[in-house]
Homo-oligomer: A and B are copies of this chain.
Amino acid sequence: MLNQAHFQTLIATKAARCVIAAQGRRLVDFGLRRTHGYDAGLKAARCAYLAGFDATSNVLAGQRYGIPIAGTMAHSYVEAFSDELSAFRAYARAYPDACVLLVDTYDTLDGARRAAVVGQELAAAGQRLRGVRLDSGDLAELSFSVRKILNVARLDDATIFASGSLDEHGIAAALARGAPIDAFGVGSRLGTSADAPYPDMAYKLVDFGGRPVLKLSTGKATWPSPKQVWRCMTGRDQLEDYVGLADEASQADGQPLLVEVMRNGQRLAITDVATARAHAQQELAALRAAYRVLADPRQAPVQFTPALRYLREALTRKFVC
């Protein structure tokens, strides 16, 4: 239970931060090669999509969960040809409608110039170059030069796709510099949640045979009894969460956040991935900007109801001699 809830919460959170940073630009999950096993790769693809990513390069995840799949050419494709221009031309012939050329195998700017040649050849044949992909070096810096190369070749509608050691911080930094990047591939740092590889989430007994119980361990104390969390808008811009006993009346006209999803080992409802994705986007959009910023987001203060505090104090007195 904890293994599954914890990991998927972790990746969905990291992915949601990337979505916020990308300000509407297209995001593709590239994490499989660095996730912790294949199960993690599948779940990470699903969680990233739930949180607002547009696609995954994980083909099995696409098949299993109905997530759009996307990818560009591989470096090995380019290396398999005697020179880069021949590789680009062969790729354009094979994928005339989805031609995104990976330009950094040897040198990004040389690669971009060769991609522009192929783009003009496609245009002459009534087709079009979808874009190029940068995968190394200073992505923001390169994107300015590559955009110029494409525009001079009258390939203004060819997009720039960037990947390589990205997460929400890298995306935000590139866009803050005004980098003309249209889409991002996000891999290792998303699939492992590299800067925060686990949250301190726990799964503890709170009631046994109708008797509320708790744990008082230093730094790991728990609150007793089944609970509910109510979320309230207390001002134009201010959230407040109330934690109380599950059978208490609604607090401060708040919205209850906990929903029963399983009873007697049976799931009560199964939500498909599209519905869950729409729900996540709606909930994220409902949060005021101060709660959604990447650095030092505002946090909702958490209040505990008098009934819950009283119960905890009574139990604590019982167990601390």
Mark A201-236 against chain B: 1 for CB-CB distance below 8 A, else 0: 001110011010111111110000000000000000
A32 interfacial contact with B, CB 8 Å: yes
Count the copies.
Answer: 2
Q: Contact between A4 and B37 (Cβ–Cβ < 8 Å)?
A: yes
- CB proximity to B under 8 Å, residues A34-53: 34-41, 43-44
Mark A91-117 against chain B: 1 for CB-CB distance below 8 A, else 0: 000000000000011111010000000
Mark A79-96 against chain B: 1 for CB-CB distance below 8 A, else 0: 110111000000000000
Task: Pick out which of these stretches binds chain B: A189-197, A265-273, A296-304.
Answer: A189-197
Q: Contact between B198 and A188 (Cβ–Cβ < 8 Å)?
A: yes
A29 CB to nearest chain B CB (Å): 14
A4 cross-chain contacts in B, Cβ below 8 A: 37-38
A103 CB to nearest chain B CB (Å): 10
In the assembled complex, the Cα of A82 lies from the Cα of B211 at a distance in Å of 9
- Give which listed residue, B6, B106, B193, B215, contacts A105 with CB less than 8 A: B215
What is A's interface to B at a CB cutoff of 8 Å? Answer: 2-4, 6-7, 10, 32-41, 43-44, 75-76, 79-80, 82-84, 104-108, 110, 135-137, 164, 188, 192-194, 197-198, 203-205, 208-209, 211, 213-220, 319-321
10 contacts between A and B (CB under 8 A): A2-B34, A6-B34, A39-B40, A75-B204, A79-B213, A104-B218, A107-B216, A107-B321, A136-B217, A192-B192
